[in-house]
Structure 1
């Protein structure tokens, strides 16, 4: 069984390690743990890992955040992966830093990457792993905030949160969304 795991982010060194690139950071850690690396393919960096008999097709769109849907649609069609086997790893301003939650569907909530995916798939019925980045920014400063690095007091917590995200992805592909939510979405 195949799954498409999409880490949202922006390509380019100026975006590396920013809040908006947490999807890339989670997938990079997952690939490193599995001893694989990403290859530049059509619209995305691509690699595969196996977990308990499942194939996890990991993509990091190279389209920039606002056009992420192009990469997601292409790879879903290319690999013949149904929407219920898609998981998007995304930064979320509505969740405090330190929280990671998974949900089966939902609105884009103003996130341009999710808006693009929803627009091109014509659906919001895909799972998303929401990595909390808090909303500690002044009015009108949201873009600057998500494109900035994590705070000094947040950086030491990142490895454990990224590891938890990887555990949640592995749970999603083995036990499904409902049990993953039950096991991981606690406070």
Structure 2
């Protein structure tokens, strides 16, 4: 990837906009929380049949720690650092970048509270140079249609914004889960 290029991601919050404050609207509620936390403003988007808000973040992946003892396998985890000071940093094992970014955006409390600069330096006094930050343009979308018709809104947003399918996150309720429980699933349908 060329230096200075921007990756795009789409986070969709599903719900039924005419019925606010119901469990079925948890996807929209999560996006509203992110928008408030990041100071974003919702804008009506006719082409996407919904409301959108966009945030730009630079994410710096750290190199995995190298071990020199007995040929132990390297741990597959990445620590993400957001550009803004005092932003959350956390460790995410093998999570796709959009999920890691969404977790960082959603979290008002860090998963990994250690200062960002100590995680790589503590175990290796001479860390390898860090790669360039990855710049992301993350669009939040709340479809203005009934949940069962939201696929049209998402498809139009993906086409209009030129979002790779691998960089889409859908946030929705699941009556099979207890309230407050979250699960992440890569690919497939909601089932």
Normalised to the residue count of structure 2, the TM-score between the two structures is 0.54
Residue 9 (structure 2) aligned to one of 3, 24, 28: 3
Count of matched residue pairs: 107
How far the C-alpha of 1:94 sits from its partner, in A, is 1.6
Q: Which residue of 1 aligns with 2:132?
A: none
CA contact (8 A) 2:8 2:137 kept: yes
Q: Which residue of 2 aligns with 1:112?
A: none
Please give the per-residue CA displacement for 1:66-106, whole angstroms capped at 9, x wherever unaligned. 10000000000001111100000010112222211111023
How far the C-alpha of 1:10 sits from its partner, in A, is 1.3
Question: Deviation above 4 Å: which 4+ runs of structure 1?
Answer: none
Taking the aligned partners of 2:188 and 2:175, their CA distance within structure 1 comes to 15
CA RMSD of aligned residues (A): 1.1
Taking the aligned partners of 2:142 and 2:183, their CA distance within structure 1 comes to 20
Taking the aligned partners of 1:107 and 1:40, their CA distance within structure 2 comes to 27
Q: Which residue of 2 aligns with 1:98?
A: 180
Q: Which residue of 2 aligns with 1:62?
A: 144
Gaps of 5+ in 1: 110-187
Gaps of 5+ in 2: 1-6, 59-134
How far the C-alpha of 1:107 sits from its partner, in A, is 3.0
Bigger helix share? 1
Higher Cα radius of gyration: 2
CA contact (8 A) 2:8 2:164 kept: no
1:15-94 aligned within 5 A: 15-42=19-46, 43-52=49-58, 53-94=135-176
Q: SS of the counterpart of 1:102?
A: coil
